[in-house]
Copies of this chain bind each other. A is one copy, B any other.
Amino acid sequence: MVPYRISKVLFGGDYNPEQWPREVWHEDMRLFKLAHVDTVTLNVFSWARIQPSEDTYDFADLDEIMNLVRENGLNVCLATSTAAHSAWMAHRHPDVLRVGQDGMKRSFGARHNSCPNSPTYRHYAPLLAKKLAERYGDMGNIVAWHVSNEYGGLCYCENCAAAFRVWLRKRYGTIDAVNRAWNTSFWGHTFYDWEEIVPADFRSEEWSMGGRVRTNFQGISLDYRRFMSDSLLECFCLERDAIRAVTPDIPVTTNMMGLYYELDYGKWAKEMDFIAWDSYPSYGEPANFNILRHDVMRGVGGGKAFWLMEQTPSVSNWHQYCALKRPGVMRRLSYEAMARGADTVMFFQMRRSIGACEKYHGALIDHAGRSDTRVFREMAALGEELDKLGDVTLGGTTDARVALIFDWDNWWATSLSAGPSADIDAVSELARWHAALLDMNVPVDVVGVDAPLDKYAAVVAPMLYMVKGDYDETLRGYVRRGGTLIATSFSGYVQENDLVMPGGYPGSLRDIFGVWVEEIDALPPDRVNGFVYNGVRYPARLLCDVVHTEGAKALAHFETDFYAGMPALTCNDLGEGHAYYVATCPDEALCAALLGDVLKAAGVAPIMDTPRGVIASVRENERGRIVYIINQTDGEQSVTLPFAGRDLLTGTAYAAGDAAALAGNGVMLIHID
């Protein structure tokens, strides 16, 4: 891991001068200064320009750009341009073209268009990265390498099929082991030769239903997803290694996309020098959902600070309805990122292009080219504010006492499951627990199944359907040593190949929770069961388990249907700890109630109390502890500070017990005395 070296919150973002004549470049430099921009991400999509043919490279423009921005004192996040191959490459080397799930070979177009197992791509992409490192590595102002861009998209071509077989051979060793892993005795799928194996796609095992991929063989589809995530990761590593060989001291990253289904970011993070991600909350989604993405991104990076690589200054262009970010919202979202771990506030994009699909995506510099637009003024004000903040927030981490478990394999497995309900969504199950913690102002880590747990007072593993390897041992040990573990319906069913662990659900977790789940009932959206916990009634939706306690005590019981009176919520004492089982998909209120009780018992206090819609987060570095108080609502809100400190943005000092008012979308960064 090569650390990044910065002395303030970086402010700037994607800049594409290659789309503009030179006179505009100089105007841009002037405008950047006005806006307090200090960092630009360059060269994201210039492969075709830099390499006009197999044997020719032309760096003249990029040289000029690099010199210009250095002369203007700007840091550079230098991209490798490999997120879109060139038209000549597609024409001369069709192996770079992807094949879709339906078997259709793509022609030239779009971006993220290369087959990750294309020999051509794997030859030319790292070669370009190496050339860029050699040419610009010594410029002195490169703060990070930005490999490719928003990796994603899958391929189903013959090259991928062949690489899949190699991947399988490496993972399983023998074809017999593959047959066992995939349970191929079902439906007569026994393979005798590696060559008989084909990609999992719409030509073989999969189909689309209601926009969701379904499969006949979960094991095959799961492994193909793993293989594809690994294939793309290999492409990243090839470029990273080519760069590292030249500039070992400059960190290398790529920009992730939060809760992105196709890539196992938990695995990717281990290969990146630091985490960077692009934050594009959708219009109308709950305000907490983007916080969840921040926490997931911080979590895959092991809790370290990350970069906000992209957000839009105002409007996105691909939404159904591209609503403007209202005044103050861009600033508020920027501080939200910082509150959850960001060390940079960067944007797509510095200047709006005039043609193609992103020309109506927000930018610092609009088509009008003026510095007096609302968006420019808001950004310049934020830039100035961040200038003043200096390095005080940098590198801060959050010491959470609660963990949420989130695992890409489990996400894939639950989404691919044939039954019990097509509405199963592991992220929704995660999000409700997260929302409850956010509303309580309790810091939380979202971690994978490789994270140590002993530091946490409570661990919630919502819908942990797949228990890989000996993760049951991890959980069992955690509880035995005094931890509190919470699980929910549809947990503990399968091992890592999506094979059921026979003997009764929740499989290897059964003794931990002291329950046996005999049956699982799927409820259509218009049917709700319910239960009473601590005097309050909560709904039970989507899934309801028919549970028998085996040592656990029942804390609540289903109200209706043939399993009325059977446990809806149980607690098992194991060693020094406790294991709660929620036998349904709980609503946020139940999550909050149960977490409230658990955390109270464990002595975990919230950062502070806030009105609904105001969230408090905390980060700490060697320079101290900062509480970020953010008003996600449009109206003014008042908070009472339980600690003394100074607002870094206004300089106002507060004593413990003081009240403070936050305007709509207002922010305070209280540096604790």
Instruction: Let me know if B111 and A187 touch, CB within 8 A.
Output: yes
Instruction: Let me know if B216 and A110 touch, CB within 8 A.
Output: yes
Q: Which one of A314-322, A569-577, A603-611, A616-624 is at the interface? A: A314-322
Instruction: Let me know if B320 and A500 touch, CB within 8 A.
Output: no
Instruction: Let me know if B320 and A193 touch, CB within 8 A.
Output: no
Chain A 325-375 interface residues, beta-carbon cutoff 8 Å to B = 326-327, 352-361, 366-370, 373-375
A190 to B81, CA, bound (A): 13
Distance of A630 from chain B, by nearest CB (Å): 19
Instruction: Let me know if B360 and A418 touch, CB within 8 A.
Output: yes
A105 to B524, CA, bound (A): 36
Q: Which one of A48-56, A442-450, A480-488 is at the interface? A: A48-56
Cβ 8 A contact of A88, one of B18, B87, B196, B499: B196
Given A102-B104, A192-B88, A196-B91: A504 and B370 interface contact (C-beta under 8 Å): yes
Q: Is A191 an interface residue (CB 8 A)?
A: yes
Q: Is A204 an interface residue (CB 8 A)?
A: yes
Q: Is A518 an interface residue (CB 8 A)?
A: yes
Instruction: Let me know if B356 and A87 touch, CB within 8 A.
Output: no
Q: Is A109 an interface residue (CB 8 A)?
A: yes
Distance of A494 from chain B, by nearest CB (Å): 8
Q: Is A197 an interface residue (CB 8 A)?
A: yes
Q: How many copies of the shown chain assemble into the complex?
A: 3
Residue from the set A16, A316, A354, A355 with the largest chain B CB neighbour count within 10 Å = A355
**A328 nearest in chain B by CB position:** B562
A505 to B197, CA, bound (A): 56
Cβ 8 A contact of A204, one of B106, B202, B317, B423: B106
A654 to B184, CA, bound (A): 55
The interface residues of chain B lying within 8 Å CB-to-CB of A196 are 87-88, 90-91, 108
A369 to B105, CA, bound (A): 47
Distance of A549 from chain B, by nearest CB (Å): 15
The interface residues of chain B lying within 8 Å CB-to-CB of A366 are 518-519
Q: Is A189 an interface residue (CB 8 A)?
A: yes
Cβ 8 A contact of A419, one of B185, B315, B498: B315
A321 to B111, CA, bound (A): 37
Binary flags per residue of A545-562, CB closer than 8 Å to B gives 1, else 0: 010000000000000011
Q: Is A229 an interface residue (CB 8 A)?
A: no
Given A198-B107, A323-B521: A500 and B354 interface contact (C-beta under 8 Å): yes
Q: Is A523 an interface residue (CB 8 A)?
A: yes
Cβ 8 A contact of A81, one of B188, B198, B204: B188
The interface residues of chain B lying within 8 Å CB-to-CB of A358 are 186, 418
Q: Is A588 an interface residue (CB 8 A)?
A: no
**A190 nearest in chain B by CB position:** B48
Q: Is A255 an interface residue (CB 8 A)?
A: no
Q: How many residues on chain A are close to B (CB under 8 Å)?
A: 116
Given A354-B499, A355-B182, A375-B519: A317 and B198 interface contact (C-beta under 8 Å): no
Instruction: Let me know if A203 and B420 touch, CB within 8 A.
Output: no
Q: Is A39 an interface residue (CB 8 A)?
A: no
Binary flags per residue of A89-129, CB closer than 8 Å to B gives 1, else 0: 01100000000001111111111000000000000000000
The interface residues of chain B lying within 8 Å CB-to-CB of A315 are 419-420, 519, 522
Chain A 177-213 interface residues, beta-carbon cutoff 8 Å to B = 182-193, 195-205
Instruction: Let me know if B216 and A45 touch, CB within 8 A.
Output: no
The interface residues of chain B lying within 8 Å CB-to-CB of A191 are 87
Instruction: Let me know if B504 and A45 touch, CB within 8 A.
Output: no
Instruction: Let me know if B107 and A204 touch, CB within 8 A.
Output: yes
Instruction: Let me know if A418 and B318 touch, CB within 8 A.
Output: yes
Instruction: Let me know if B419 and A369 touch, CB within 8 A.
Output: no
Instruction: Let me know if B500 and A359 touch, CB within 8 A.
Output: yes
Instruction: Let me know if A52 and B188 touch, CB within 8 A.
Output: no
Instruction: Let me know if A354 and B108 touch, CB within 8 A.
Output: no
The interface residues of chain B lying within 8 Å CB-to-CB of A417 are 360
Instruction: Let me know if A104 and B418 touch, CB within 8 A.
Output: no
Cβ 8 A contact of A500, one of B85, B355, B373, B423: B355
**A90 nearest in chain B by CB position:** B196
A197 to B87, CA, bound (A): 8
A523 to B197, CA, bound (A): 49
Binary flags per residue of A284-326, CB closer than 8 Å to B gives 1, else 0: 1000000000000000000000000000001111111111101
Given A204-B106, A504-B368: A518 and B53 interface contact (C-beta under 8 Å): no
Cβ 8 A contact of A103, one of B104, B316, B519: B104
Binding site for B on A (CB under 8 A): 16, 18-19, 45-49, 52-53, 81, 84-88, 90-91, 102-111, 182-193, 195-205, 215-219, 283-284, 314-324, 326-327, 352-361, 366-370, 373-375, 417-423, 497-505, 516, 518-524, 546, 561-562
16 residue pairs from A and B, CB less than 8 Å apart: A19-B185, A48-B190, A81-B188, A91-B196, A105-B203, A107-B199, A183-B356, A218-B356, A315-B419, A315-B519, A326-B562, A360-B420, A367-B500, A367-B503, A367-B504, A370-B504
What 3 A-B pairs are tightest by C-beta distance, nearest first? A183-B355, A109-B204, A360-B419
- Known A49-B190, A324-B520; 10 more pairs at CB < 8 Å: A19-B185, A48-B188, A49-B185, A87-B189, A109-B205, A321-B421, A352-B500, A355-B500, A357-B418, A368-B518
